[in-house]
Amino acid sequence: MLEIILKRIGMFILVVIASTALVFFMLHSLPGESAEVMAKYIFLGNVELTPSNEAIDIIKEKYDLEKPLFSQYVTWVWNAIHGNMGTSYQTNSPVTEEILIRLPATITLAFVSILLSLLIGIPAGIIAAVKQNSFTDYFCSTISVLGISIPSFWLAILLIYVFSYTLGLTPTMGYGDFKSLILPAVSLGTPASAVIARLMRSSMLEVMRQDYIRTAIGKGLSYRMVILRHALKNTFIPVITIIGLEFGHLLGGTVIIETIFAWPGIGRLLITSITARDIPVIQGCIVFITITYLVINFITDISYSYLDPRIGRSKH
């Protein structure tokens, strides 16, 4: 176990360095001169105004934009290693603070959305598989195809229209209490649940064809017992991968839904920072998202060996 963890930590560092370097150099290949873009967003607050040449020169000097890219990157890494992620160009406050204040909102939304998708997706997938080719199966499959195909922004606006505007049950936007969490979570959870349901169904069907299931049924176990004790655990292996990925995706931020519901999450922070070329914040978000993915992957891998001990054994 220790060996795995050490290996993982080594990989963590490599992946973080690679991804931040990639993002850093890609940012500089974006159209528009960085100093001009920064002047516009940071000091004019309006993209349609043209900043003065003096302002652009001052910004270049203030933020060392004239230095070679590589040395700018090395400086950033050096500071980051020493725990200094820099300060936001736009707000002058530390990057860690910018990310931390958005963390609760991001985690809440991601967590509730993923739970919701499990709540719908797993039973739907199981029922569809158990009652293969029945009306229930077609019904679940149709719904899940719809769930995958409906764009989440459209679903979000539709939900606001029905539940907030017409019925007045939930607030149209905002953040802070349980009610305002419902619509964003449903908008995000629906597509995820559809993906999970489909995968669950196909995986379940696969497992149900295995010899050990036939044996279990043959030895007289109740059908329910067979599904819950024998089939479910094995069904979960591919599904857990997708759940991990979906969860990572949700934690990394869901820009469109966050924008529609004015939800203060990481996604919105990242996008506004990219448009404003707020490089320290962008880098901070990338580090956060990378680490989140890696941690989730790690947990996913561990859960594999719990679900199927053979996987763990063959690995080390």
Partner 1 sequence: MKKINFTGVFVILILAVLISCVAFSGCTESPDAPDTSENNVEKGNSDKNTQQELIIGHPWNLKSVDPGLSGSNLNNFRVSEGLISISPDYKLLPTIADSWEYVENSTWRFYLNKNVEFHDGSKVTANDVKTALDRSMKLNPELQGRLNIKELKVVDDSTVDIITNTVDASLPGKMAYGAAGIYKNNEGPEGTISTPIGTGPFKFVSYDKATDTLKLAKNENYRDGAPKLDSVVIIFGIGEPNTREMAVEKGEIDFTTEPTLGSTKRLESDKNLNVIIHPLCQGYKLKFGDVSKAPYDDVRVRKAIAYAIDRQKIVDNILLGRAIVSNGIGITPGIEWRNNNLTGYAYDVQKAKGLLEEAGWKDTDGDGIVDKEGQKFKITLYTWPQRPALPPLAQATQSMLKDIGIDSEVRIMEWDAISDRKNEWGMITVAGGDACMMIPDPSYYIEGNFYSEKNDYNYRNPNVDALIMKGRTIFDKEERYDAYREVQRIVCDEDCAQVHIAYHYHMVVTDKNVKNYIPNPAHHDYSINKDMYIE
- Interface of this chain with partner 1, residues 71 to 100, rule: CB under 8 A: 90-93
111 binds partner 1 (CB under 8 A): yes
User: What whole-number distance in Å separates Cα of residue 253 and Cα of residue 274?
Assistant: 14
Shortest separation between residue 135's beta carbon and partner 1, angstroms: 15
Please list, in sequence order, all residues whose beta carbon lies within 8 angstroms of the beta carbon of residue 67, skipping any fewer than 6 positions away: none
User: What whole-number distance in Å separates Cα of residue 226 and Cα of residue 135?
Assistant: 23
**Strand ranges inside the chain, DSSP E:** none
Shortest separation between residue 5's beta carbon and partner 1, angstroms: 27
267 binds partner 1 (CB under 8 A): no
User: What whole-number distance in Å separates Cα of residue 98 and Cα of residue 295?
Assistant: 21
Quick one: 227 or 279, whose CB is closer to partner 1? 227
284 and 95 in contact (C-beta within 8 Å)? yes
Quick one: 179 or 310, whose CB is closer to partner 1? 179
Q: With contacts defined by CB under 8 A, name the span among 109-117, 195-203, 294-302, 304-312 that binds partner 1.
A: 109-117
The residue count for binding partner 1 (CB under 8 A) is 74
User: Which of 16, 116, 128, 195 touches partner 1 (CB under 8 A)?
Assistant: 116
Amino acid at 312: G
Question: In the window 29-58, what residues touch partner 1 (CB under 8 A)?
Answer: 30-32, 36-37, 39, 42-55, 58
Phi, psi of 223 (to 5 degrees): -60, -40
**What are the tokens at 186?**
């449903």
The pattern of x and - marking residues 168 through 187 that bind partner 1 according to CB under 8 A reads x-xxxxxxxxxxxx------
- 10 Å CB burial of residue 135 (0-12, 13-18, 19+) is exposed
Please list, in sequence order, all residues whose beta carbon lies within 8 angstroms of the beta carbon of residue 87, skipping any fewer than 6 positions away: 93, 94, 95, 280
Question: In the window 139-168, what residues touch partner 1 (CB under 8 A)?
Answer: 157, 160-161, 164-165, 168
Quick one: 42 or 80, whose CB is closer to partner 1? 42
Q: Give, as one character, the DSSP assignment of residue 173.
A: S
Shortest separation between residue 241's beta carbon and partner 1, angstroms: 20
The pattern of x and - marking residues 194 through 233 that bind partner 1 according to CB under 8 A reads ----------------------------xxx--x------
Shortest separation between residue 213's beta carbon and partner 1, angstroms: 13
105 binds partner 1 (CB under 8 A): yes
User: What whole-number distance in Å separates Cα of residue 16 and Cα of residue 80?
Assistant: 11
User: Which of 198, 230, 249, 268 touches partner 1 (CB under 8 A)?
Assistant: 268
User: What whole-number distance in Å separates Cα of residue 126 and Cα of residue 11?
Assistant: 36
